[in-house]
Amino acid sequence: MKKYLLLIFLILFSTKSLGSIKNEIIKTFSEIKNLNFEFTQTINGKDETGNCSIVFPKKIYCKYNFKFNKVLVSNGSSLVIKSDKNNQYYRYSLKDTALNLLLDKKYILGKMRILNGSLIDEKFFLFSIEENNQTLNIFFDKNNYNLIGWQTEDIYQNLTITYIYDLKVNQNIKDDIFKLPKNN
C-alpha cells in the first residue's frame, strides 16, 4: 500500500500543474518585445513557408518562400498582402483581421490571465480566445513556454494554421520593414 501511495505522490508532484504552466507562459510572453521566426502556414490544405518579424504592438512583416515575392506587412493600423503573381495587392484595415488580436500583446496577456487554457497531447498549451465572432487559438510549448503557433480564420473564412519554429526573441529589428509596400 505504501508503494502505491508513494507512486501516486511522485506522479502528482513530478508533473507540472496546468496553473504553473499557464503562469510561466504568461511570464515568458510578457517579457517579449519582438519575435523573429520561420513559419509553415496551412490554408485550406496548402502549405506556404517563410519568415516573419513581429514587433509588439501590431507590427508584422512576413516574407514568403514563394516565387512571386509575396509579403505580408502591418504597420500597426493597415495590413498589406502583396505578390508579383498577377501584380496582386490587397490592403485591409488591421482591425478587420484576426491578426489585430494576435499582434496585440497586451490584449492577449489579459485574455491569458482570465482563461484556463488546456493541455494538448501532453506537449502544447492552448489558449482559445473568442472575440467579435472570431476564434483565435494560440499554442505554446509546454516545456519552454514559447509561442509555437496559432490557428484562426482568415478574412475569407479559410482555416489558417501557422506553425512557427527557429524562434528568436528580442532581437534588433529595423522599423523600416513595417512600411507598407506600394501598389505598382
Q: What is the pLDDT of residues 45-92, one digit of tens each?
A: 899 999 999 999 999 999 999 888 899 999 999 999 999 888 889 999
Is the separation of the CB atoms in 120 and 139 below 8 Å?
A: yes
How sure is the predictor about 9, in pLDDT bands with cuts at 50, 70 and 90? very low
Mean per-residue pLDDT of the chain: 88
Q: Does 3.40.1350.10 match the CATH number of domain 17-178?
A: no
**Span 113-152, pLDDT tens digits:** 999 999 998 899 999 998 877 789 999 999 999 999 999 8
> What number of other Cβ atoms are within 10 A of residue 30's Cβ?
13
User: Average pLDDT of 107-111?
Assistant: 96
- What pLDDT score does 155 carry? 65
Neighbouring residues of 104: CB distance < 8 A, sequence distance ≥ 6: 56, 57, 58
